A and B are shown apart, each in its own frame.
Chain A
Amino acid sequence: EAGVAQSPRYKIIEKRQSVAFWCNPISGHATLYWYQQILGQGPKLLIQFQNNGVVDDSQLPKDRFSAERLKGVDSTLKIQPAKLEDSAVYLCASSLAGTGAYEQYFGPGTRLTVT
């Protein structure tokens, strides 16, 4: 079974530029999550999708971050404009719906450096 795919793996941008990350979840997983992991900290949930719909985006800085999940499969997370404090690893995870949603499977992440 293929795991969660993410691209790019690394990205370096200057502050005020924009950036986009892509995620392809495990086939059949209805729930998709985006996390931000700052160096030395645990992952923090940014947004959670159930199929096409947003379940929780309470910790997403909506003035600069946006995310979409078209057709209930792939998802993109965008930052515009980026700030220095956005430097982090952005992790995508997916899970089944219902009680299977407890087990989340993570991708390798995209390491973003904002200079």
Chain B
Amino acid sequence: IAGITQAPTSQILAAGRRMTLRCTQDMRHNAMYWYRQDLGLGLRLIHYSNTAGTTGKGEVPDGYSVSRANTDDFPLTLASAVPSQTSVYFCASSDGDRTDTQYFGPGTRLTVL
């Protein structure tokens, strides 16, 4: 069981370019999340999806979009990347148990120049 996979592992991107970060889980979890991690700020929620076909905005959604066409995949798109989006991005999922424990992918390190 792989759990959560993310691709790419790392990417250097020119400002203004479009980029999609991929996230796939094989645990059949209903809920999925995207966080960004920045030094000294911990993890901040970008977007979430409680179930396939639905999405919602988190704490820092501007400049990002998501879709949830099926249970397993939850891609994050930067339509026109800016340097402030340089960060490490983590995808997570939860199975909706009483505590909604979240399980994290290995992350994608993105640098926008």
A binds B: no
B residues sitting closer than 8 Å to A (CB atoms) are: none
Residues of A within 8 A of B (CB): none
